[in-house]
Amino acid sequence: MSRQAVGAPLSRVDGRPKVTGQAKYAADHPTNGVVHAAIVGSTVARGRITGIDARAALAVSGVLKVISHRNAPKLAYRANPSSNNPEGGERLHVFQDDKVLFHGQPVAVVVATTPEAAQHGASLVEVRYDAEKPSTDLTGTPANAPVTYARGDADQAMRSAAVRLEMTYRTARNHHNAMEPHATIARWDGNRLTVWDKTQWVVGTQKELAAVFGIEQHAVRVISPFVGGAFGSGLRAWPHVTIAALAAREMGRPVKLVLTRKQLYSGTGYRPAYEYHLRLGSDRRGRLTAMVHDIKAETSSYENFEEGVLAAGQMLYSMPHIRQTYRTVPLDVNTPLYMRGPGHATAAFAIESAMDELAHALDIDPIELRRRNEPAEDESNGTPFSTRRLRECYTVGAREFGWDRRAPKPRSTRDGDWLIGMGMAAGVHTTRRNPAQARVVLDARGIALVEAATSDMGPGTYTSMTQVAADALGLTVRAVTFRLGDSTMPPTPAHGGSQTMASVGSAVQDGCDKLRRQAIELAVADERSPLHGVEAGDVAVTDGRLHVKHDPARGETYQQLLARNNRTRLEALGSFTPGEPRLSMYAYGATFAEVAVDHRLGLVRVRRMLGVYDAGRIISPKLADSQALGGMVGGIGTALLEHTVTDHRDGRIVNANLADYLVPVNADVPDVRAIYLDGEDREANPIGVKGLGEVVHIGVAPAIANAVFHATGRRIRGLPITAEALL
Ligand code: MOS
């Protein structure tokens, strides 16, 4: 009997092409006759373009053309509701008028025979502006009308609460900063457009380009087999994708456009900065009676970006009275977008810091406080939880982390100059699911090809889908190839929001189940098959061989079956359509951190971390660890290092590079461990997963902040927690 592929710690099936340079990322695809484009970004954040002098650029050897609003064609820019474009407002229309809406906005593009000539040309384009003073500071700028939620009477309950706390938390803007820059190659063949792009959603980019250019969706093909990290930045087709396609059409030649590291800061989205005002009331035993959340987040002046920052407050803890307001603040900046654990991670920093503050105020252990506030059902809508095992996350985490060694009093543990502290935080993320399809073909050699238009930005989609398909088809993983990243493949939702395995995995499972059943039915109806006349339900497939479940010797291989029936292939289309949710579905986690803080320098070092997750079934344990450890490392960044800094005088981002935008390096990453509660959630989807990629990130920053408090007795309510904040 072969081992099950699902649950086995498989190495990445695409590991070899990735480490040998064979994997082709967006800018790597060879395209005959390609020319190169470089964007000229605005040097003011608000105003109008009054003049563009391209003469010096055009004099550079190799420069072919400079395109701006002065000579660009008008584009259709049809509405595109099935996208991650925000619902409110309208996307940036590139080169359609003289308006400047943010610093770094593309105002021209230089096309040349080499990337160097294009870049040099771009540096020589002179743009004159009629500039106005920009507004880029979240604090003090008027907000849009709020999104609100309420149950009970939170204001009344706050007034009568025995214990009341009131805090304002602030989180910095974070940029995704994946290794691979965003890049696009665009080629027109008549009215058909082919694009090689860095994207988490080939179908989304296909639809957006069709809408922008006013052409049929199927006239656009988007190809993206490898993505070098994204964390959410590839969930929309950004203006540079349009620019590459527009330039290619103007030039009558394929165009390649690679954003510089600096341009990534204004050319794609980011996790918006937040101000999170939180009041909470409880009784003397720490039972929450009320919470009031007043939340402000930055958005652009032209689009209203909102994300799921309210959900956790409504359902993580039991509480009769709650009121929430969530206001976006339109600024002269480019539009934010989802970034790992979007909304939930920000909410967790505020809520889980506040719970730690309450625990300290009442002298209750932080885990015990959370246990006292566990809800019996989802109080936001009165539905039962499909699965919620947060209590077990606490129990396992406390045991494995050695929580009992934590002295209750802050600033009571030392190691030389270092103050030592332990902190923990809960995390919760919505279990998302969306319709998906997958095509399965089994050939006469007994080799399966499975395809879906999804992506692999790093979590290991190629590998985990191969595992699901192998088990469902009764094949070894070596006999299965999974392909993705082409809009001609069966459609899938965006590869983000921890929904890929839930959605695409379920479609793969369905397609493979269908194909296996086809083969079994063919065999049992075939007089020449050893399986003739056997009940289809009594036939299993193992290692590519169909056999009677209780009589493994009786059977035949897929190859024998297909050859005898003169079939070159079997084929099936799998699909997944989530039903109306009857239950409340979330993934949960508890994150534990131990930090050391140099009491004279304010330097924070994370010494060890542990995450314990209730994320449903784990398909691929080795890849799950990559996700969890990576999510925790990203959380260290958010907690201690990452901060996009804007100069509010001119709206310029001053640290738009990887030297000044700090991310964790190996020396910042301690002993990190992840544990997954064994189990599955059949309500969520047929394969029982709840999503892992986000929840692993969500409790990290508050766990570290709480550990810093425990180490030092200093409560830092702003991220990142820097040395200066601690001095
Ligand atoms: Mo993400 S924010 O799941 O791409």
* Closest residue by Cα to residue 232 from 310, 175, 297, 301: 175
Q: How far apart are CA 300 and CA 303, in angstroms?
A: 5
User: Is residue 308 in contact with ligand 1, taking CB distance under 6 Å?
Assistant: no
Look at residue 272 in the predicted model and tell me its pLDDT: 98
Dig out the tokens for 133 from the structure.
Answer: 């003073």
Asked, colleague to colleague, whether 274-432+582-726 and 434-576 share their fold, the answer is yes
What burial letters (b/e) apply to 223-249, b meaning 16+ CB within 10 Å?
Answer: bbbbbbebbbbbbbbbbbbbbbbbbbb
pLDDT, one tens digit per residue, over 198-208 is 999 999 999 99
Query: Taking a C-beta distance cutoff of 8 angstroms, is the pair 689, 506 a contact?
Result: no
**Looking up tokens 């081992």, which residue turns up?**
3
User: Is residue 200 in contact with ligand 1, taking CB distance under 6 Å?
Assistant: yes
Q: At residue 523, what are phi and psi to the nearest 5 degrees?
A: -70, -50
Q: Residue 333 Cα, ligand 1 centroid: separation in angstroms?
A: 21
Query: Taking a C-beta distance cutoff of 8 angstroms, is the pair 412, 442 a contact?
Result: no
Query: Taking a C-beta distance cutoff of 8 angstroms, is the pair 690, 681 a contact?
Result: yes
Q: What is the interface pTM, i.e. ipTM, of the complex?
A: 0.97
Please, how many CA atoms are within 13 Å of residue 563, restricted to the half-sphere of its CB? 7
Which three-class secondary structure state does DSSP give residue 471? helix
Atom of ligand 1 nearest to the CA of 230: 4
Q: Above pLDDT 90, what percent of the chain?
A: 98
User: Is residue 105 in contact with ligand 1, taking CB distance under 6 Å?
Assistant: no
Dig out the tokens for 296 from the structure.
Answer: 């402000």
User: Is residue 239 in contact with ligand 1, taking CB distance under 6 Å?
Assistant: no
Q: Residue 176 Cα, ligand 1 centroid: separation in angstroms?
A: 10
pLDDT, one tens digit per residue, over 237-247 is 999 999 999 99
Residue ranges of domains in the chain: 34-132+176-267, 274-432+582-726, 434-576
Q: How many CB atoms lie within 10 A of CB 621?
A: 15
Helix (H) or strand (E) holding 660: none
Q: How far apart are CA 271 and CA 269, in angstroms?
A: 7
* Closest residue by Cα to residue 616 from 432, 388, 464: 388
The yes/no answer on whether domain 34-132+176-267 falls in CATH 3.90.1330.10 is no
Q: Residue 663 Cα, ligand 1 centroid: separation in angstroms?
A: 18
The catalytic residue among 298, 357, 683, 694 is 694
User: Is residue 134 in contact with ligand 1, taking CB distance under 6 Å?
Assistant: no
Mean pLDDT for 209-227 is: 98
User: Is residue 497 in contact with ligand 1, taking CB distance under 6 Å?
Assistant: yes
Q: How far apart are CA 614 and CA 390, in angstroms?
A: 7
Q: Residue 346 Cα, ligand 1 centroid: separation in angstroms?
A: 14
Helix (H) or strand (E) holding 484: none
The dotted CATH code for 434-576 is 3.30.365.10
Residue in 180, 182, 227, 231 to alter for ligand 1 test, most ligand atoms within 8 A of Cβ:
231
Dig out the tokens for 64 from the structure.
Answer: 């072919």
- Given a cut of 70, whether residue 1 has pLDDT beyond it is no
Dig out the tokens for 588 from the structure.
Answer: 């949960």
User: Is residue 460 in contact with ligand 1, taking CB distance under 6 Å?
Assistant: no
Residue in 235, 456, 503 to alter for ligand 1 test, most ligand atoms within 8 A of Cβ:
235
Q: At residue 537, what are phi and psi to the nearest 5 degrees?
A: -70, -15
Q: Residue 484 Cα, ligand 1 centroid: separation in angstroms?
A: 18
Q: Residue 189 Cα, ligand 1 centroid: separation in angstroms?
A: 33
Whole-number average pLDDT of the chain: 97
- Given a cut of 90, whether residue 383 has pLDDT beyond it is yes
Distances in whole angstroms, Cα of residue 383 to Cα of each of 314, 493, 578, 679:
13, 26, 17, 21
User: Is residue 336 in contact with ligand 1, taking CB distance under 6 Å?
Assistant: no
Q: Residue 573 Cα, ligand 1 centroid: separation in angstroms?
A: 27
* Closest residue by Cα to residue 314 from 395, 413, 380, 381: 380
- Given a cut of 90, whether residue 3 has pLDDT beyond it is no
Mean pLDDT for 148-161 is: 98
User: Is residue 427 in contact with ligand 1, taking CB distance under 6 Å?
Assistant: no
Residue 724 appears among annotated catalytic residues: no
Query: Taking a C-beta distance cutoff of 8 angstroms, is the pair 178, 226 a contact?
Result: no
pLDDT, one tens digit per residue, over 260-308 is 999 999 999 999 999 999 999 999 999 999 999 999 999 999 999 999 9
* Closest residue by Cα to residue 478 from 437, 455, 446, 511: 446
Residue in 175, 176, 340, 432 to alter for ligand 1 test, most ligand atoms within 8 A of Cβ:
340
Query: Taking a C-beta distance cutoff of 8 angstroms, is the pair 711, 413 a contact?
Result: yes
Pairing of strands 147-151, 99-100: unpaired
Give every CB contact of residue 334 below 8 A, 6+ residues apart in sequence.
Answer: 92, 101, 102, 104, 105, 266, 267, 269, 300
**Confidence at 120, pLDDT banded by 50, 70, 90:** very high
User: Is residue 692 in contact with ligand 1, taking CB distance under 6 Å?
Assistant: no
pLDDT, one tens digit per residue, over 564-585 is 999 999 999 999 999 988 999 9
Q: How far apart are CA 604 and CA 664, in angstroms?
A: 12
Query: How far is Cα of residue 260 from the mean position of the Cα atoms in its chain?
Result: 22
- Given a cut of 70, whether residue 2 has pLDDT beyond it is no
Q: At residue 32, what are phi and psi to the nearest 5 degrees?
A: -60, 135
Q: Above pLDDT 70, what percent of the chain?
A: 100
Q: How far apart are CA 693 and CA 624, in angstroms?
A: 8
Q: How many CB atoms lie within 10 A of CB 76?
A: 10
Q: Residue 542 Cα, ligand 1 centroid: separation in angstroms?
A: 36
Mean pLDDT for 596-620 is: 97
Look at residue 26 in the predicted model and tell me its pLDDT: 97
Look at residue 581 in the predicted model and tell me its pLDDT: 86
SS (H, E, C) 297-315: EEEECCEECCCCCCHHHHH
Residue 583 identity (one-letter amino acid) = L
Dig out the tokens for 563 from the structure.
Answer: 């050859």
274-432+582-726 CATH fold: Aldehyde Oxidoreductase; domain 4 (3.30.365)
- Given a cut of 90, whether residue 158 has pLDDT beyond it is yes
Dig out the tokens for 228 from the structure.
Answer: 């070098």
DSSP letters spanning 601-659? T--EEEEEEEEEEE-B--S-HHHHHHHHHHHHHHHHIIIII----EETTTTEETT-STT
Order of strands across the sheet that contains 718-719: 147-151, 321-331, 288-300, 274-282, 163-171, 718-719
- Given a cut of 80, whether residue 53 has pLDDT beyond it is yes
Q: How far apart are CA 541 and CA 61, in angstroms?
A: 64
Query: How far is Cα of residue 472 from the mean position of the Cα atoms in its chain?
Result: 28
Atom of ligand 1 nearest to the CA of 341: 2
User: Is residue 235 in contact with ligand 1, taking CB distance under 6 Å?
Assistant: yes
Mean pLDDT for 201-217 is: 98
Atom of ligand 1 nearest to the CA of 694: 3
DSSP letters spanning 355-422? HHHHHHHHT--HHHHHHHT--SSBTTTTBPBS---HHHHHHHHHHHHTGGGS-SSTT--EETTEEEEE
Query: Taking a C-beta distance cutoff of 8 angstroms, is the pair 690, 431 a contact?
Result: yes
